[in-house]
Structure 1
Amino acid sequence: MEGKALAYRIANVADDKRAEDIVILEMKGISLIADYFLICHGNSEKQVQAIADEVKEAAAEQNIFVKRIEGYAEARWVLLDLGEIVVHIFHKDERSYYNLEKLWGDAPRLKLEENHL
């Protein structure tokens, strides 16, 4: 699955677990880390972990395996490295503090329309 299509698939998975304020940033030419960042948040540690679990499972179904997971036990900011995509799942209290959308403000946002979520 191509990176952009996978980003939308992961956005759908996060949405199914009631992730909030889902944003996909296109990082091509901006960051060497990944082509896309997906950023979202949950309202509790359990929800953040549930979103992360579902993202990991959905990626595995596409034969994409998580290269690295950070922050899962604390569930305040979980980072999943899927290669072309880095998924950032915040606890709602942490998201505004780190404000990745502002940090990477020059990155174009992909449109999330009803047919993508």
Structure 2
Amino acid sequence: MEKLKLIKELLENKKAEDIVILDVSKLTNLADYFVIATANSTTHARALADYLEEELEKRGIEIDHIEGKDYGHWILIDLIDTIVHIFTPETREYYGLEWIWADAKKMEV
């Protein structure tokens, strides 16, 4: 729970919007939690990902891998038990992860 709170705070620090945390642990073995956030542009998305990567590494939180930074429309940061999805507004709407994972419990941290 502390890691989720930290991730949310770090994203908020850099003006990510519409941050949603989903508990997907009972629905998939991909991860326990998805953190979904919106950036206002691809540049903003890459900046959010860079900041998150830097701050998590400072705190000793392992990042398994990062995908999508080259384009920036959908950046995925895999922390093994938690996957952070950073979208541009259009891409978030198009893929509709909240709709796909509608059975997941929304978390408040």
TM-score, shorter chain, exceeding 0.5: yes
Deviation at 1:51, TM superposition (A): 0.7
- By how many angstroms is 1:98 displaced? 0.4
Cα distance in 2, alignment partners of residues 7 and 111 from structure 1: 9
Q: Percent identity?
A: 37
Displacement over 3 Å in runs of 4+? none
Aligned partner (choices 57, 60, 69) of residue 60 of structure 1: 57
Q: 2:17 aligns with which of 17, 20, 25?
A: 20
> CA offsets per residue over residues 34-71 of structure 1, 9 Å max, x none?
11100001011110011101111122122122111110
Moved more, 55-64 or 16-25: 55-64
| Aligned mate of 2:36, from 32, 36, 39 | 39
- TM-score by length of structure 1 reads 0.89
Q: Distance in 2 between matches of 1:59 and 1:32?
A: 23
Aligned residue in 1 for 2:69: 72
Partner of 2:88: 91
TM-score (norm 2): 0.95
Match of 2:100 in 1: 103
CA RMSD of aligned residues (A): 1.0
Q: How many residues align?
A: 109
Unmatched 5+ stretches in structure 1: 113-117
